[in-house]
Amino acid sequence: MPLGPSLPPRLVVFDVDGTLHDAFGWWPRVLRRGLAAFAAERGFAVELPDDGAACAVIGKRDAEVWSPFLPPEHRALWPELRAAVVPLECEELRGGIDWLYPGMRSLLLRLREAGVATAIASNCRRLYFSAVCEGLGLAYLTDWQFCLDSEGVVDKTTMVAAALRAAGTRSAVVVGDREADREAALAHGLPFVWRRSPYCALAADAVWGGSPGELLSMLGVRPPRTGPGPE
């Protein structure tokens, strides 16, 4: 379903983890490894999360991501846990495996070819974000990249504001899978496309199941003759 009469937009702002990037495919394994080592070093016991519990925090930020995996009496240690696990995350993201969802590279390149600028906005910090941008090629594939450590940014809403300023337009669509993405779109009066997820259900102007051709159609961009597919 198209998003309105003024299509294609001049800008699409994408969330990253769970939207373009299949963080669900590797994060639980890396989290369990890092959490077990951290708890052993600190001398306390932890219950290692199953895949569902680990994936449920993807897309959240700071303490919301890390503290649920620590015992209540040790939850103040979440910054130290993050510091222990982030290097493992970066190792995974720079390890040569393409963790983007199938077709995402072709999708982003097709948008560029059609004259639609793209930005990514992620509720993460600079070290992890650099590994995502460089290890997965998103620095090349998108025009602007924003995280919680970007200048003038405090949340998804200010990331979208920064993207609009950078693109010099109000003709934009936000695509994401979490409430923060929806809130950012609403704050700026922009259409919101929910990337369907098993971990939350959001009201949206359109729902995207993950097919590149489906999203291109929603955005009013003609797919390539053969259509973007798995790379």
Is residue 225 very low, low, confident or very high in pLDDT (cuts 50, 70, 90)?
Answer: low
The residues, any chain, with a CB within 8 Å of residue 31's CB and separated by 6 or more, are 49, 54, 69, 85
The pLDDT of 5-11, averaged and rounded, is 87
The residues, any chain, with a CB within 8 Å of residue 22's CB and separated by 6 or more, are 99, 100, 101
State the CB neighbour count (10 A cutoff) for residue 214: 16
pLDDT tens digits, residue range 164-213?
999 999 999 999 999 999 999 999 999 999 999 998 999 999 999 999 99
Read off the tokens for 28: 């639980």
Read off the tokens for 108: 């982003």
Is residue 7 very low, low, confident or very high in pLDDT (cuts 50, 70, 90)?
Answer: confident
What's the confidence (pLDDT) of residue 111? 97
Q: Give the C-alpha separation, 101 to 108, whole Å.
A: 12
Angle ∠(158,179,58) on CA atoms, nearest 5: 95
> DSSP for 163-184?
HHHHHT-S-EEEEESSHHHHHH
The residues, any chain, with a CB within 8 Å of residue 221's CB and separated by 6 or more, are 7, 8, 110, 111, 114, 116
pLDDT tens digits, residue range 109-126?
999 999 999 999 999 999
pLDDT tens digits, residue range 44-99?
999 999 999 999 999 999 999 999 999 999 999 999 999 999 999 999 999 999 99
Burial of 189: CB neighbours in 10 Å, binned 0-12, 13-18, 19+: exposed
What's the confidence (pLDDT) of residue 223? 82
Architecture of the domain delimited by 11-22+100-218: 3-Layer(aba) Sandwich (3.40)
What's the confidence (pLDDT) of residue 230? 47
Q: Which of 96, 148, 141, 90 is nearest to 118 (CA)?
A: 141
Contact 127/147 with Cβ under 8 angstroms? no
Q: Where do the structural domains in the chain lie, given as residue ranges?
A: 11-22+100-218, 24-93
What are the distances in angstroms from CA 200 to CA 61, 153, 193?
16, 25, 14
What is the model's pTM?
Answer: 0.93
Looking at the predicted structure, is the pLDDT value of residue 1 above 60? no
What are the distances in angstroms from CA 23 to CA 15, 29, 63, 125?
12, 11, 18, 15
Helix (H, G, I), strand (E, B) or coil at 93: helix
